[in-house]
Structure 1
Amino acid sequence: MTERKPPGVSFESWVDRQIREATERGDFDDLPGAGKPIPDLDKPYDENWWVKKKLREENVSLLPPTLALRKEAEDALAAAREATTEVRARRIVEDINEKIRDALGRPLPGPPLNLMPYDVDRVIDEWRERHPD
């Protein structure tokens, strides 16, 4: 059980004594993150920080499926343009096109998708212009 603050002792000195004794016992040794800066300490306070962190860790999106697919398509096109090989660029575009076709075949909830499969040959032509031999 946690020790209670004795009557007549100021709260500050009681807390300081608890911390000093715990330090002397080594209770704070080998804590995770010891000696490292506190993450996001310089950012403004956000009361939902822990929710956002958990969503990032679990790779969960709060976007409606159509908007999430638009974002994924945008990211895929950028990745294809920066791919190291033509084969990799083609694979990225073909993979996202498959997802777009699936979404067009069974409409997703949310705002309209407003997205059509990319022209793979046009994307590859752009890739070749960016990556001359």
Structure 2
Amino acid sequence: MTSAWEAAVEAQIRTAQERGEFDNLPGMGKPIPGRGLPYDESWWIKSFLEREALPSDLLLPTPLQLRRKVEQVPDEVRDLPTEQSVRAFVADLNAQIVAWLRNPAGPRVVVRPVNADDVVDRWRTGREQAAARTPAVPVEQPSGRPRWRWRLPWRRRR
């Protein structure tokens, strides 16, 4: 039975080749990627992350992802416009941390909730320092008459 099945498959492949269905396939004439390299068990995960342009942090266990997020808090909140948005960001992160603490999975890593007041204080001082570094730009007072005018092509000059 196996040989009959193989013969049927081979016949289908042969007829498809005769019809030209295997011509102009992507990668035709190019070497097989990764050939000659040692076998990597997680090749498909790496290729998926590369193809989808996903960060490799997704492979980390949850506590390490949370710890990395805690480390990146100052960079993440730096460009937020208001104190409320900073507090909302910290509250969301703390909710994720508390959810993990209630049902821990993965390696035992110490992850503590972030103090929102400390983050807001650092955010304020960073904004004040940035404001002190940027010189005040003088604002031109608009005159009564504009410097330039739009000239439409179908209107004549006066």
Does residue 115 of the first structure (1) align with residue 130 of the second (2)? no
Please, what TM-score do these two structures have when normalized by structure 1?
A: 0.54
Q: What pairs up with 1:43-82 in 2 under 5 angstroms?
A: 50-55=44-49, 57=52, 61-82=58-79
The CA deviation at 1:87 is 2.0
The CA deviation at 1:113 is 2.8
Whole-Å separation in 2 of the counterparts to 1:51 and 1:103 = 25
Whole-Å separation in 1 of the counterparts to 2:84 and 2:107 = 33
Give the conservation status (yes or no) of the 8 Å contact 2:63–2:111.
no
Q: Which has the larger radius of gyration?
A: 2
Does residue 2 of the first structure (1) align with residue 17 of the second (2)? yes
Query: One-letter code of the match for 1:51?
Result: I
Does residue 95 of the first structure (1) align with residue 80 of the second (2)? no
Whole-Å separation in 1 of the counterparts to 2:71 and 2:79 = 13
The CA deviation at 1:77 is 4.3
Runs of 5+ unmatched residues, structure 2: 1-15, 27-36, 132-158
2:121 to 105, 125, 128: 125
Whole-Å separation in 2 of the counterparts to 1:66 and 1:74 = 12
Give the conservation status (yes or no) of the 8 Å contact 1:81–1:126.
no
Whole-Å separation in 2 of the counterparts to 1:112 and 1:81 = 30
Percent identity over paired residues = 32
Please, what TM-score do these two structures have when normalized by structure 2?
A: 0.47
The CA deviation at 1:71 is 2.1
1:105 to 102, 105, 111: 102
Q: Could you say what secondary structure the match of 1:131 adopts?
A: helix
| Alignment length (residue pairs) | 96
